[in-house]
Amino acid sequence: MKKPWSGRFTHKTSGLVESFTESISFDKRLWRHDIRGSIAHAKMLAKQGIITAREAAAIEKGLLEIAAEIEAGKFRFRNELEDIHMNIEAELARKIGPAGKKLHTARSRNDQVALDIRLYLREETEDIISRILQLQKTLLTIAEKHIDTIMPGYTHLQRAQPVLLSHHLLAYLEMIERDKGRFMDSLKRLNVLPLGACALAGTTLPTDRAFVAKELGFKTASANSIDTVSDRDFAVEFLSCACICIMHLSRFAEELVLWSTEEFGFIEISDAFTTGSSIMPQKKNPDVAELVRGKTGRIYGNLMSLLTLMKGLPLSYNRDMQEDKIPLFDTVDTLKACLEVMNAMLPGMTFNKQRMAATAGQGYSTATDIAEYLVKKGVPFREAHEITGKIVLDCIKKKIELHEISLKELKSFSPVIGKDVFPTLDPAASVRARSSYGGTSPSQVLKQIKRYKKIL
């Protein structure tokens, strides 16, 4: 088949080169966006008198027929035509004749592919934002159900202080709220029309880029044609947002893995979202959570792939940039799948409230409450900290918990300690007392829930 650049060449393209340079095997997923952009471009060409209205109508009709064929699985994609753009254009010319050959007027594949990717990413970013929102709603529902469930909070994976399970879950809701904000903010830089920059220098023809921008729902058109065709910042930014988002999902997945162990015993994940062993009949493995954790490295790799791809490219367009699509597509698919499976898995989890409450009171987790009790009695915090440390050390030596120590023993460490210290050693009381803004007390957590109900 004749290449679009055949006028300049005297030798046929090697079949090896066709196989090596083709991108249709992966960029065919852009067909909807390519056709949508082409229809808008044809309308603009007709509006500007560059082609006739009849030609534009024939182009649109032909493109819609091609769209129906692709949708029905009847379209034959050809490797020798390299990419989605040439596959569609060649079929259009075959269908409608000379008018089809006019479609590529005042554009290049350089700005055309930039358009397709921006349209694709805009759509997928909005879908990801929607999935994040659904996950937030799921977390909020679970948090609201567990406003009275106490668990140990951790630092360094060591028991630290009692907290509400709701408070812990809302921490993840906060994380992915930031993720949602980052994706929404990235749309501002994504939503810029590249079409009309042509190969790199614009065109001598009287095009109307503002018209095309309006047709395709872009806020504005790009301002510099060289930057336009060489820019993949929007893709790098998307991947960066995806990396941070999947990091948060991975952290949550890691906790689900830990919590589902016999050692923790905090949760049981539904049978529907676990797997067994091929040799050990007793096993129930949290494979879904593990795979979310594992796929995080894959998305990180995709970001590094694109950053490395772009770091040494001179202006403007280079064929290296064809390699942007596989990491981009893979990231979209992977992140969407992780969000979907996490959102589906969480409602079926059961929480072992008794186990969580029991462990919340162990490990001297209310030691800080003693220190703050002493502060309220007028003891400077550093002294209070030291006194409490000595109390904890004494308990460790005696192999008892804080609530098991006698008042007489406590007074030996500080005479200001009275029997009113004992209520502060109860994990539930400890949680209730932490009513500072953003704290873990039920009153504060309910405020957080109320705030997120408004946001979501």
Of the candidates 6, 25, 130, 277, the residue annotated as catalytic is 277
| Distance spanning both ends of the chain, measured CA to CA | 54
In contact, 132 and 340? CB cutoff 8 Å: no
| Exposed e or buried b per residue across 411-434, where buried means at least 16 C-beta atoms within 10 angstroms of its C-beta | eebbeebeeebeebbbbbebbbbb
SS3 351: strand
Q: What are the DSSP E strand ranges found in 267-346?
A: 267-268
Question: Catalytic: which of 11, 156, 406, 436?
Answer: 156
Q: Is 385 annotated as catalytic?
A: no
**CA 44/CA 123 separation, integer angstroms:** 23
Alpha-carbon gap, residue 12 to 14, rounded angstroms: 6
Please, which residues have CB within 8 angstroms of residue 429's CB and are 6 or more apart in sequence?
A: 369, 423
156 is catalytic: yes
Q: φ, ψ for residue 390 (rounded to 5)?
A: -70, -40
Q: Which CA distances in Å does 272 have to 141, 254, 286, 288, 439?
A: 20, 19, 10, 10, 35
SS (H, E, C) 29-69: HHHHHHHHHHHHHHHHHHHCCCCCHHHHHHHHHHHHHHHHH
Q: Which DSSP letter does residue 281 get?
A: T
Q: Give the active site residues.
A: 156, 277
